[in-house]
Structure 1
């Protein structure tokens, strides 16, 4: 979201006495009206140079692609904590480079590297959060983690309103990363990852540490070795296992498409939802706050036995698809209660809810040894959706309704494809590929899974 305010284009006018022939002459003739600065006002990124703002944003998303693919397998091999802390450290460093960049070129390059480490670190931190708690809490911690993203957008808008100098805004926005970096050294390694690697004693120590932190008495804890845990004579599972094993192959293909659609529809609706006018900072805040109601809805439905993860996400995606399609039937002079803006915002809320469930659902579908790799591949396909979404509005030249039909059809298709995936509510978490393939894992009843989780 940094580029939304840091790359904002204020109103301006250029003295019409001749055409500026170079940057120095343009600087003398241009007059910016609004009372904030941005990379546009500092490096005069207007007219023929205006594309550079979007380029910086595209470089960030390109970095996310690389980070999603590389950090996941690294954390599966090296551990969650070291990869997460390394990524957060580099994220903070490149964030300060962004704020202090002496030229646009350095600014753009810094955004690319911020994208790499930010995308990878955020992915690993989500998995680490999930693996600290029992599966019965995954829906809560997953929703809470995603909720902070929506709230963070609103907080960022407030910071932008108070800090109008773009360099100071970038510094202030980046500084909390230093605090969380220092706090992160107190975190233990994921006990699930340690267990999946056969490091029983270390996993037992972490579980004892968590139990003591929860006010429990010290227990005589002894983990049973997992038949599919890591052996030193066998190479660690990698991305190729997502294609190699039939049980994971089609599941991964379907998930990649659903991730792509969620991103595609989400960013598409963000660009097409009525194009809110008025205060820049208020609009940024609303774009985040409109997603907040989606999270309590998720928490309520995904824990019910009659809905679960699969049916709930299917319904949210289908509702988002219909919201897009119905938008094209609303007349332009319709009232507020039934306007295209309201329908588009409802659609965004629904796809946000589906996105939230998708993170939780995907992390439950993959075994521990491949969880980050699976999430990384899915997140990669998600970025393609975000990159393509801005091109859809140009299809309005064919017909005003074409963009909404595209978003609606893709949302509906992803919703129906979700029904092909297995339900994970009250099911055991696979630690290894062998667990996922074993008949015992496939037929294990929900009651027994819940009992083992509580134990």
Structure 2
């Protein structure tokens, strides 16, 4: 039997898989805290500079003697006086984190396809916790910035592998649900971090408490098995059978006669080589990867651009951070509903949510400054955040279905790489207000609308078999139809080949 048939015997989402997925999903709370850390620990309070003469610029040493912070805030800004000409260092620390995410996606994605999901995930989580404590106890800004780069490096790698594991532990019919739960828990983590920041004001204490949850999730993750789908795709069918039988026993199902169909091992001559290069060489994967890279970039730019701007909005920065996390929650039930409907599916739903996010940002340019609270720039920005969160979640689930198992992490890694480029640029988009007040939202609008239109070039994956190897992707059900024929033709060809 193949791997999907085996999951029907084992249980697609039995009690054991529920516990394993719960550990991976809850780990998103820790990852969200690390992603949003700079929003609160980098807060810039109100301050005044005493006895400064016109045209006279204080040096950094002199500035420390004349500056007075008028707001009771403890952050890296108040500790290292990151104001005036030094204020760029706050944004730099945030961008270094996203730069680390980019490198982590590029390195950890293909690595987990090569040596396995479990060792890469556990190693990355362990070192992220270690570097997280370095952040909390950093003696200088330079050490703090370097630690944020290293935390981002690990966070980017394990976030990707963690998501893939939540998919590969369960039957394919549950992929949309587990993928959605992962994104939903990340949003809850943002809201919890806002609440945590409200009760723990010293930035070092906040960084240490937020990082300590990673220790718990590491201990819980040690017992997780390797992905049976990855083992099967690598030709390690005996080990895959062992993991599946282990899952079946924990689920209370009998799987004594579970035998998987043998496939070529990674070292065999008949086993096609996989790697990032295949994303450029393979005719089907090439177009998919190009489109998905831009979609992920746009999702990240709009998502993080709106989220990181929460601390700049009027009102309590802690409430704003929590609100920008909670506003995502309604998006995920919408995702589950639409992506499983034949008249919507993955492709149309993702494109629609991206266009709605761009439209919401477009509408902010027509709102007067004295508009009421029900119709304001902030409320429309929250609507845009809700829509792009839905699109981002669908992009994760959709992309994992578009790539075969043998190259899934490499494909998602490349997509995440372009996603992190958007994250790196996001903190600097608000500075475009110097050109025009509406420029940031114009960038978000154009990004969302263009990505939504390009997403329509991708094929639908709802109720279709997922390829395990590149040979299956190149088979008669796939071919080069995506690049040479309309999508409707591909749909009819798929139906005729499977009826």
- TM-score w.r.t. structure 2 length? 0.84
- Choose the corresponding residue for 1:141, options 178, 185, 197: 178
- Choose the corresponding residue for 1:230, options 244, 248, 266: 266
Aligned partner of 1:8 in structure 2 is 43
Q: Please say if residues 43 and 311 of structure 2, whose CA atoms lie closer than 8 Å, have aligned partners that are also in contact.
A: no
| Inter-CA distance 219–35: structure 2 relative to 1 (3 Å threshold) | farther
Q: Distance in 2 between matches of 1:268 and 1:350?
A: 14
Aligned partner of 1:306 in structure 2 is 343
Tell me how far 1:334 sits from its aligned partner: 2.6
Aligned partner of 1:328 in structure 2 is 365
CA-to-aligned-CA distance 1:112-167 (integer Å, 9 cap, x gap): 11111111111111111111011110111001001111110111111111111111
2:392 matches 1:355: yes
CA-to-aligned-CA distance 1:301-348 (integer Å, 9 cap, x gap): 111111111111111111112212222222333323332322221111
Q: Please say if residues 75 and 372 of structure 1, whose CA atoms lie closer than 8 Å, have aligned partners that are also in contact.
A: yes
| Inter-CA distance 354–366: structure 2 relative to 1 (3 Å threshold) | same
Aligned partner of 2:151 in structure 1 is 114
Q: Distance in 1 between matches of 2:311 and 2:127?
A: 38
Aligned partner of 1:209 in structure 2 is 246
The 5 A counterparts of 1:63-102 are 63-102=100-139
Aligned partner of 1:453 in structure 2 is none
Q: Please say if residues 273 and 340 of structure 1, whose CA atoms lie closer than 8 Å, have aligned partners that are also in contact.
A: no
Q: Distance in 2 between matches of 1:115 and 1:352?
A: 21
Q: Distance in 2 between matches of 1:325 and 1:80?
A: 41
2:161 matches 1:124: yes
Q: Which runs of 5+ in 2 are unaligned?
A: 1-35, 480-492
| Inter-CA distance 305–224: structure 2 relative to 1 (3 Å threshold) | same
SS of corresponding position for 2:366: coil
Aligned partner of 1:405 in structure 2 is 442
Tell me how far 1:24 sits from its aligned partner: 5.5
Tell me how far 1:400 sits from its aligned partner: 3.9
Q: Which runs of 5+ in 1 are unaligned?
A: 450-455
| Inter-CA distance 426–341: structure 2 relative to 1 (3 Å threshold) | same
Q: Please say if residues 273 and 341 of structure 1, whose CA atoms lie closer than 8 Å, have aligned partners that are also in contact.
A: no
- Choose the corresponding residue for 1:42, options 72, 79, 82: 79
| Number of residues of Structure 1 aligned to a counterpart in Structure 2 | 448
| Inter-CA distance 218–447: structure 2 relative to 1 (3 Å threshold) | farther
Aligned partner of 2:229 in structure 1 is 192
CA-to-aligned-CA distance 1:6-48 (integer Å, 9 cap, x gap): 1111222333277796655544443333333111121121222
The 5 A counterparts of 1:406-425 are 406-425=443-462
Q: Distance in 2 between matches of 1:401 and 1:33?
A: 30
SS of corresponding position for 2:106: helix
Q: Please say if residues 273 and 344 of structure 1, whose CA atoms lie closer than 8 Å, have aligned partners that are also in contact.
A: no
2:92 matches 1:61: no
Q: Please say if residues 310 and 321 of structure 2, whose CA atoms lie closer than 8 Å, have aligned partners that are also in contact.
A: no
Which has the higher mean CA deviation after the structures are superposed, 351-360 or 121-130? 121-130
| Inter-CA distance 92–391: structure 2 relative to 1 (3 Å threshold) | closer
